[in-house]
Amino acid sequence: MKYHPEIFVPILIILSLFSQWEQQQVLAEPQVPCFFIFGDSIVDNGNNNFRQTTSRADFLPYGIDFPGGPTGRFSNGRNIADILAELLGFEKHIPRYANATNEDFVGGVNYGSGGAGILDETGTTLGDVISFNEQLSNHKGTVRRLAELLGGRLAARRHLRKCIYYVGLGNNDYLLNYFPKFYSSSAPYNPQNFTSLLIAQYSNQLRKLYRYGARKVAMFGTGVLGCVPLQITKYGGTDSSGCVGTINEVSSLFNQKLKRVISDLNNRLVDATFIYTNDTVTSYGNITNLTDPCCNVLTSDGACIAGTVPCNNREEHFFWDAVHPSEAATMITGKVAYISMSPLYSTTDLIQTW
């Protein structure tokens, strides 16, 4: 979802290096044995298909470019969880938790849910979405299952300490929870206090994830939320770039506080490696349209209208619908995010290839 420039690494160099790597690199097995994913619609790969919620993407034109068609991914094709799994060397995309098998649990599952937030109340207006607390509860069950499959709790813990965990929440706590109240003058907190409340809850949840066995955790901050087309339509662009300035200021505040939490967790938790994963880039190559959705959208929630025909130049659009990035945008941000995740996996082979 992040798309406004904050200098991280020249994108043309990244794409050149990855082009060489993708042509030369052959991985016999993944760089890590397992990959667990927690988050919202940015990573949801169909968990919401099994829930009573309006936050679903199991219909065309969603999935128009995905093998087999719509799956529940909020994209025309792959999402960032898929891209990262591919770059980590997994032969298949990480399966959704909703109908995972024993074999799936060993290699990792995706708990993501469209509409989910750090707070339990976030997303409830959309129906029965899977909050971060519920995702953590589901993972606790997974850890118990792994203990049965691998020969005990100690074996499960040894396995999990080798896994990479993706955690990305907070977007919906602002977009679906706080800002509708803020702009209607009914919010019980000012933006600073709400962010502090959110961060305190998040910190406790991440400590719980650590107690369940996570040791290598990639944390994804909120996107530049004020530049999401749906938010501009709702509240009007107020800054020089045409985005909603107040929303961007608050999402930036969240990310700043999250970085401090990550530093604290690394200092206090033994053998923990939490990293703040930067997926912002300076250029999007062939993507020339950074503002318009590719599909026809509902004005209420920015979702694609079922059965409509999307644009045919999807590789030129950053946004797929009025909230979520296209596969083309995700491929670029995913590759940048993968590089910033390097403390969590071995880069020896990749560096040698470069």
Catalytic residue among 40, 44, 173, 321: 321
Confidence label for 324 from pLDDT (cuts 50, 70 and 90): very high
How far from 187 is each of 142, 175, 177, CA to CA, in Å? 37, 13, 9
On whether residue 43 sits in a domain, the answer given is yes
Say if residue 115's pLDDT is above 70. Answer: yes
pLDDT for the residue 264: 98
pLDDT tens-place string over residues 256-268: 999 999 999 999 9
How far from 179 is each of 54, 211, 281, CA to CA, in Å? 20, 33, 26
pLDDT for the residue 281: 72
The secondary element (H helix, E strand) that includes residue 37 is strand 35-39
pLDDT tens-place string over residues 123-168: 999 999 999 999 999 999 999 999 999 999 999 999 999 999 999 9
Catalytic residue among 41, 55, 113, 326: 41
pLDDT for the residue 180: 96
pLDDT for the residue 11: 45
> What CATH number does the domain containing 219 carry?
3.40.50.1110
User: 206-245 b/e with 16+ CB inside 10 Å = b?
Assistant: bebbbebbbbbbbbbbbbbbbbbbbbbebbebeeeeebbe
Contact assessment for residue 112 and residue 38, using Cβ atoms and an 8 Å cutoff: yes
Terminal-to-terminal C-alpha distance of the chain: 28
pLDDT for the residue 280: 67
Q: Is 300 a catalytic residue?
A: no
pLDDT for the residue 240: 80
Q: Name the residue range of residue 59's domain.
A: 11-343
On whether residue 34 sits in a domain, the answer given is yes
Percentage of the chain exceeding pLDDT 90: 85
Task: Please give the Cα distance from 230 to 167 (Å, whole number).
Answer: 24
On whether residue 199 sits in a domain, the answer given is yes
Task: Please give the Cα distance from 218 to 202 (Å, whole number).
Answer: 14
Confidence label for 284 from pLDDT (cuts 50, 70 and 90): confident
Cα of 275 vs its chain's centroid, Å: 14
- Decide: pTM greater than 0.85: yes
- Which residue shows structure tokens 């025909």? 309
On whether residue 73 sits in a domain, the answer given is yes
Count of Cβ atoms closer than 10 Å to residue 273 Cβ: 16
User: Under 8 Å CB-to-CB from 196, ≥6 apart: which residues?
Assistant: 257
Say if residue 215's pLDDT is above 70. Answer: yes
Q: Is 321 a catalytic residue?
A: yes
- The better pLDDT of the pair 305, 12 is held by 305
Q: Give mean pLDDT, residues 84-100.
A: 97
Percentage of the chain exceeding pLDDT 70: 89
- The better pLDDT of the pair 28, 56 is held by 56
Within 13 Å, how many C-alpha atoms sit on residue 74's CB side?
28
Catalytic residue among 139, 159, 317, 324: 324
Contact assessment for residue 46 and residue 71, using Cβ atoms and an 8 Å cutoff: yes
User: Under 8 Å CB-to-CB from 245, ≥6 apart: which residues?
Assistant: 226, 238, 239
On whether residue 135 sits in a domain, the answer given is yes
pLDDT for the residue 170: 98
Say if residue 93's pLDDT is above 90. Answer: yes
Strands 273-277 and 164-168, bridge-based pairing: unpaired
Total tally of structural domains belonging to the chain: 1
On whether residue 4 sits in a domain, the answer given is no
Contact assessment for residue 57 and residue 63, using Cβ atoms and an 8 Å cutoff: yes
Say if residue 43's pLDDT is above 50. Answer: yes
On whether residue 186 sits in a domain, the answer given is yes
Average pLDDT score, the chain: 91
Confidence label for 21 from pLDDT (cuts 50, 70 and 90): very low
Q: Give mean pLDDT, residues 176-190.
A: 95
Confidence label for 3 from pLDDT (cuts 50, 70 and 90): very low
Confidence label for 346 from pLDDT (cuts 50, 70 and 90): low
Say if residue 349's pLDDT is above 50. Answer: no
Give start and end residues of each alpha helix (H) in 25-131. 80-87, 102-107
Contact assessment for residue 135 and residue 172, using Cβ atoms and an 8 Å cutoff: no
Give start and end residues of each alpha helix (H) in 269-353. 327-340, 348-353
On whether residue 37 sits in a domain, the answer given is yes
Task: Please give the Cα distance from 170 to 260 (Å, whole number).
Answer: 16
Confidence label for 9 from pLDDT (cuts 50, 70 and 90): very low
